[in-house]
Structure 1
Amino acid sequence: MRAVRAVLPVAALLLTVAACQSAPAEATSEAGGVVTWAASADRMAEGVAGRSYRLVVHTSVGGTGVRVRLSNAFGDRPLTLDSVYAGLQKQGAELRPGSNRRLAFGGKPTVTLPPGHTVWSDPLPGRLPAATNLVVSLHSPDAGGPASGHWMAMQTSYATQGDHAAEESGTAWTIPTGSWFYLDAVSVHAPKHTGAVVALGDSITDGWQSTSDLNRRWPDYLARRLSTADTEVKGVANEGISGNKVLADGPGQSALNRLERDVLSQPGVRTVFLFQGVNDIKAHTGVTADNLIEGYREIIDRAHAAGKCVVGATIGPFKGWHEWDEAGEAVRQEVNSFIRTSGEFDAVTDFDRILRSPYDRARMLPALDGGDHIHPNDKGMQAMADAVDLNALDCDTIGVNSPSPRG
């Protein structure tokens, strides 16, 4: 199916009412929808009472019935959102005239999220095309304590004081921000059998060293490939967190601890794309290859138990980064050998082979290096996406519900 790139009619986003009660993350995903955008929530700075945010996100798969998921996952008190709108970006904080529509929650315009909870909005009728800049505007009268959000968005959004969520003008939105607040997913209803892939990763997946505001993270390039490919997988959710590890909490909860909320609870997910581990290795915490492999195995088993396929990606080269050493390189090579040869993943993408220099296989190819020797530039991000076998993302999930064989 070719993704629709037509302009969305300004009257297409109209409010509808459908039951949706506030609930924990694992209870809020519903069958029939497909995630079209996502960003992992983390603990942010203190929330500001009376503040509004205008959050710009870029969709992958197109569809109808747009819904957004709001998050108080890291809050320590209830969070009330009394004004939540979805519209289309014209430029900056300005919206396309007639596109901004109020979202409801169980038919009500206001929702209160208990600490640790997320909630899906009711769907909006009308069609949202693929590759669209959707703008979610929200206001909280009582925000306080730790906010939940995604600090490194690589996308400019906007803030202001007072409730300006309903306004389509950008005049009031005078505070630019590089983070997303209280929003962690968007879904649509897509044609039958349409699925999504979730990229579970760290700052490389999050897009650091790619060009801001141009959607040049490697999952963005992957979404563009999928939009024209003969595959049922069309949705792409980017669940990367800068500094994130597989095994230990730090910047964000570990991949093991956030797997349910960030990955398995997302609607329509068919495949988990696991590209993570360099932060475990380079942190000099004594993590061994066996430790990391056991973490991978737990993710594989839990994803398989949920009926998802798992694609494993080899860890890229990082010689030249200030934490690189021979011991860490030895762990990386051992882990990559497991990923390539164990047969425990449903498929493998060899990012190491794509990124490494032929003259020093521990170092990134200079043409793909973003400058710090660990994060690829735009060309590197595109090369990574181009290396993914799209057919592997559409893998058959029959028989993956039992634990992986151990060789």
Structure 2
Amino acid sequence: MSGAVRRRLVGVLALCSLLLAPAHVPSATAAGVAVPAPPAKSVVTWAASADRTGEAAGDRSYRLIVRTSVGGTGLRVRVSNAFGDRPLVIGSAYAGLRESGARLRPGTNRRLGFDGSASVTLAPGEIRYSDPLPGRVAAMSDLAVSLYVREAGGPATGHGMALQTSYATGGNHAARERDGAYTERLGSWFYLDAVTVEAERGAGAVVTLGDSITDGWQSGADRNLRWPDFLARRLHGAAGSTVKGVANAGISGNQVLADGAAQSALKRLDRDVLSLPGVRTVVLFEGVNDIKSHTGVTAAALTAGYREIIDRSHAAGLCVIGATVLPFKGWSEWDPQEEAVRAEVNEWIRTSGAVDAVADFDKVLRSPYDAERMLPTFDGGDHLHPNDKGMQAMADSVALKSLECARD
């Protein structure tokens, strides 16, 4: 899969009659989940990696609030039953612009179809794209995707730590633009794992593959202050950049090598990164959870995992930026042995030549007085996760030209 794709159009969501999408051809991933082929000409504008998220329940409506990065036409949503053990029936789905809370901007909520039908049944493990909606959605828009889940049970598929308030209610209220029915506030996204648009010709996207730091822990909730959000704003304002889409593939607690907090990065790479349309570059920023887990992981083992991710990404036509592991002295699990592993891993990222470029987050955030600690002005308070200033410093340090890399 090449990373280069096509149309960016900025405007307001003005949606009309439904267009039909071609049939999807599923492909097996390393994790055993069937992922549909990405829509032609599409670029991912938002994503959140899926995991098991509580118990599923039927006859419920979810109003899920997400932030676009690249603008364009032909909006689609990707719905997921990747971790379900029984069929998931979505009775209706809508997309519109959020005005405030769960209230939508009048006249913007439009029905999404699935191969021409208003409803869709996802088998256990299945992922599906909606049909495209005509009209345009602007970059940096608050989009509300409303799903009425008619039948569900067993494990729910979603993204646990959204740091974005979404809403839920009993019954079918997906079509409603007013917020009165949506009395339940949610801190997770359910069943939605990506949104795509047809962007301007030549536009592409970057995926940030990471753990809780990328997921945004310690950043301000409901304010889009994760470091990938800051990066999206930089790219939006960069006249010379053709990379405009940003997909956040961070999961809190995630590791490169081992399952635990979600599937390992190695297992989820195909579904969460390589299957997304329009991706040109991957920022690989994981490893601290492997190092601090006291499993005895070595630098050699961790960099071998990195190399597999790099090789698979390269084989898919994507470039890889390696981000150095942040200092975490002061965190309860820190010890000198783990610090030695971190230093060796970071040296490999900087000097091995395995990655196409380096984002030296360690250098940006570490203290000049103690390189094993985060600078206090960037420390979120637990000595592991950056605060909002640290998130912005990381995003500001990424060389935008490095995201333009192409391996075609």
Q: How does 1:258-407 map to 2 (within 5 A)?
A: 258-398=268-408
Decide whether the 8 Å contact of 1:317 with 1:374 is kept in 2: yes
Decide whether the 8 Å contact of 1:86 with 1:134 is kept in 2: yes
Where does residue 15 of structure 1 map in the other structure?
18
Question: Equivalents in 2 of 1:379, 1:218: separation in Å?
Answer: 9
Where does residue 207 of structure 1 map in the other structure?
216
Where does residue 40 of structure 2 map in the other structure?
31
Decide whether the 8 Å contact of 2:25 with 2:36 is kept in 1: no
Decide whether the 8 Å contact of 2:81 with 2:157 is kept in 1: yes
- Quickly say closer, same or farther: Cα 1:128–1:372, change in 2 above 3 A: same
1:160 deviates by 0.3
Decide whether the 8 Å contact of 1:28 with 1:119 is kept in 2: no
Decide whether the 8 Å contact of 1:3 with 1:129 is kept in 2: no
1:337 deviates by 0.2
Where does residue 252 of structure 1 map in the other structure?
262
- Quickly say closer, same or farther: Cα 1:281–1:82, change in 2 above 3 A: same
**2:308 partner amino acid:** E
Q: Deviations over 1:343-366 (max 9, x none)?
A: 110000100000100011110000
Q: Deviations over 1:94-124 (max 9, x none)?
A: 0010100010000111101111110000000
1:16 deviates by 2.3
Question: Equivalents in 2 of 1:374, 1:18: separation in Å?
Answer: 44
Question: Equivalents in 2 of 1:368, 1:2: separation in Å?
Answer: 37
Question: Equivalents in 1 of 2:147, 2:182: separation in Å?
Answer: 12
- Quickly say closer, same or farther: Cα 1:67–1:3, change in 2 above 3 A: closer
1:20 deviates by 4.0
Is residue 54 from structure 1 mapped to residue 63 from structure 2 by the alignment? yes
Match of 1:99 among 83, 98, 108: 108
Question: Equivalents in 2 of 1:355, 1:108: separation in Å?
Answer: 50
Match of 2:54 among 22, 45, 56: 45
- Quickly say closer, same or farther: Cα 1:13–1:296, change in 2 above 3 A: farther
Decide whether the 8 Å contact of 1:199 with 1:219 is kept in 2: yes
Decide whether the 8 Å contact of 2:35 with 2:126 is kept in 1: no
- Quickly say closer, same or farther: Cα 1:81–1:23, change in 2 above 3 A: farther
Question: Equivalents in 1 of 2:397, 2:7: separation in Å?
Answer: 21
**1:36 partner amino acid:** T
List alignment gaps of at least 5 residues for structure 2: 1-5, 28-33
Q: TM-score, normalised by structure 1?
A: 0.95
Question: Equivalents in 2 of 1:371, 1:200: separation in Å?
Answer: 23
Where does residue 402 of structure 1 map in the other structure?
none
Report the secondary structure of 1:163's partner residue.
coil
Question: Equivalents in 1 of 2:147, 2:243: separation in Å?
Answer: 30
Decide whether the 8 Å contact of 1:218 with 1:384 is kept in 2: yes
- Quickly say closer, same or farther: Cα 1:13–1:330, change in 2 above 3 A: farther
Which stretch has the larger CA shift, 384-393 or 11-20? Answer: 11-20
- Computed over aligned residues only, the root mean square deviation of the Cα atoms, in angstroms, reads 1.5
**2:355 partner amino acid:** F
Question: Equivalents in 1 of 2:335, 2:183: separation in Å?
Answer: 45
Where does residue 404 of structure 1 map in the other structure?
none
Question: Equivalents in 1 of 2:39, 2:279: separation in Å?
Answer: 11
- Quickly say closer, same or farther: Cα 1:97–1:35, change in 2 above 3 A: same
Q: Deviations over 1:341-393 (max 9, x none)?
A: 00110000100000100011110000001111111011000000000000000
Q: How many residues align?
A: 396
Question: Equivalents in 2 of 1:2, 1:207: separation in Å?
Answer: 29
**1:281 partner amino acid:** I
Decide whether the 8 Å contact of 2:206 with 2:403 is kept in 1: yes
Decide whether the 8 Å contact of 2:328 with 2:384 is kept in 1: yes
Is residue 160 from structure 1 mapped to residue 169 from structure 2 by the alignment? yes
Question: Equivalents in 2 of 1:187, 1:87: separation in Å?
Answer: 14
Report the secondary structure of 1:141's partner residue.
strand
1:231 deviates by 1.4
Question: Equivalents in 1 of 2:131, 2:178: separation in Å?
Answer: 25
- Quickly say closer, same or farther: Cα 1:210–1:31, change in 2 above 3 A: same
Report the secondary structure of 1:338's partner residue.
helix
**1:291 partner amino acid:** A
Decide whether the 8 Å contact of 2:50 with 2:157 is kept in 1: yes
- Quickly say closer, same or farther: Cα 1:20–1:309, change in 2 above 3 A: same
1:187 deviates by 0.2
1:14 deviates by 4.6
Decide whether the 8 Å contact of 2:211 with 2:252 is kept in 1: yes
Question: Equivalents in 2 of 1:240, 1:13: separation in Å?
Answer: 34
**1:164 partner amino acid:** H
Where does residue 401 of structure 1 map in the other structure?
none
Decide whether the 8 Å contact of 1:20 with 1:122 is kept in 2: no
Where does residue 130 of structure 2 map in the other structure?
121
**1:15 partner amino acid:** L
**2:273 partner amino acid:** V
1:49 deviates by 1.2
Question: Equivalents in 1 of 2:248, 2:279: separation in Å?
Answer: 12
**1:345 partner amino acid:** V
Question: Equivalents in 1 of 2:174, 2:316: separation in Å?
Answer: 37
Decide whether the 8 Å contact of 2:24 with 2:36 is kept in 1: no
Q: Deviations over 1:115-167 (max 9, x none)?
A: 11100000000010100000000011111000000010000000101000000
